[in-house]
Amino acid sequence: MNARHRLGAEEITVGYGGDPVIRDLTLDIPDGMVTAIVGPNGCGKSTLLRTLARLLKPSDGRVRLDGEAIDAVSTREVSRRLALLPQSPIAPDGLLVRDLVGRGRHPHQTWFRQWSPADEQIVEQALRMTDTWDLRDRALDQLSGGQRQRAWIAMTLAQDTDLVLLDEPTTFLDLAHQVEVLDLVTRLNRERGRTVAMVLHDLNLAARYSDLVVVMKSGVVVTIGTPREVFTSALLEDVFGLRADILDDPRTGLPVVVPVSAPAQAAASGGTVAGSPSAAAASCGT
């Protein structure tokens, strides 16, 4: 890729002591795009995202942010340029939505400037953009999964960074809420010009909602490209061990992954396949 990029990994090797989870991986996150990182469980996609966010230190290679080694940038400065939504963030009982979103201002606050008018304004914008403004006085634990995830995204938005990293933002949500959250991610990108990199496990959602797909297996990047380029039956077989057909979505023209179930396979023996009951079924293979 020749696109401009502020964040990238250069030949990084990352592990937790034993065998490295990621080996010699190089990847640039192109500016202004939505990049989805997909791959089977344990392929290192979350580890990669955490390393890009400086939560993990590579044993070899380096992550670069704006041309600098990210280690050389202070924690606070990193958090002013790059926001991260972890995989299963926790919140204390009774935390209100507006408090959660207010926390996003932490990197911009000091002991003597704990709540400036600018903080207030940016938090309000974040709440409105994510449709959580009406929920602002509700406790987070009273919300539905989709609302809660929107509130978390509002927090990363309040952090006011150009780069946003999301680690499986749709986990544990039902399909309607997954779509709701990813529609919001698209708006962050299109309307606010945020660069988004996210780990997704649902291939159809990755195909639908990303400009660029990074496919990982066993700690290395297998291929990078647009959803159209990346999703082929051969790749799914190879990376996920999944037999699937790739159809075209008549509405968007984007690829749709339709897994071939064993009975259907036996019946049609490789011919046309009955549609899978839900697009989410693809995730079972990951």
Partner 1 sequence: MTVLHATPFRVGAASWLVPVRASLVSLVGAGLLFLLVAIDLSVGDFPIPVGDVVRTLFGGGDEAQRFIVMELRLPQTMVAVAVGAALGLAGALTQTMARNPLASPDILGITEGAAFGAVAVIVLSGGSGYGGGLVSGRLQELGLPLAAFTGAITTAVLLYVLSWRRGLDMQRLVLIGIGLGATLTAGTSYLLVNARIQDAASAQVWLSGSLNARGWEHVGPVLLTLAVMVPLALLLIRSLNAMLLGDDAAQGLGVRLQLTQLGVLIAAVGLASVSVAAVGPLEFVAFVVPQVALRLTGGSRPPMLASMVYGGILVVGADLITRAVLPFALPAGIVTAAIGAPYLIWLLVRTNRRRTV
Q: Which residues of the shown chain bind partner 1 in the complex (CB under 8 A)?
A: 16-17, 50, 53-55, 75-80, 82-87, 89-96, 98-100, 102-104, 106-107, 109, 111-116, 120, 156, 159
Report which secondary-structure segment, H or E, holds 12.
strand 5-15
The least distance separating partner 1 from the CB of residue 8, rounded to whole angstroms, comes to 18
Nearer to partner 1 (CB atom), residue 75 or residue 272 = 75
The least distance separating partner 1 from the CB of residue 166, rounded to whole angstroms, comes to 11
The least distance separating partner 1 from the CB of residue 179, rounded to whole angstroms, comes to 24
Nearer to partner 1 (CB atom), residue 83 or residue 279 = 83
The least distance separating partner 1 from the CB of residue 201, rounded to whole angstroms, comes to 18
Q: Taking a C-beta distance cutoff of 8 angstroms, is the pair 256, 79 a contact? A: no
Cα dist. 95→4, 34, 90 in Å? Answer: 39, 30, 10
Count the Cβ atoms, other than its own, within 10 Å of residue 204: 25
The least distance separating partner 1 from the CB of residue 245, rounded to whole angstroms, comes to 37
Nearer to partner 1 (CB atom), residue 32 or residue 86 = 86
Q: What is the DSSP string of 57-117?
A: --SEEEEEETTEEGGGS-HHHHHHHEEEE-SS----TT-BHHHHHHHTTGGG-BTTBSS-H
Nearer to partner 1 (CB atom), residue 95 or residue 179 = 95
Which residue(s) pair with 65 in the sheet? 7, 68
Residue count of the chain, please give it. Answer: 286
Nearer to partner 1 (CB atom), residue 99 or residue 131 = 99
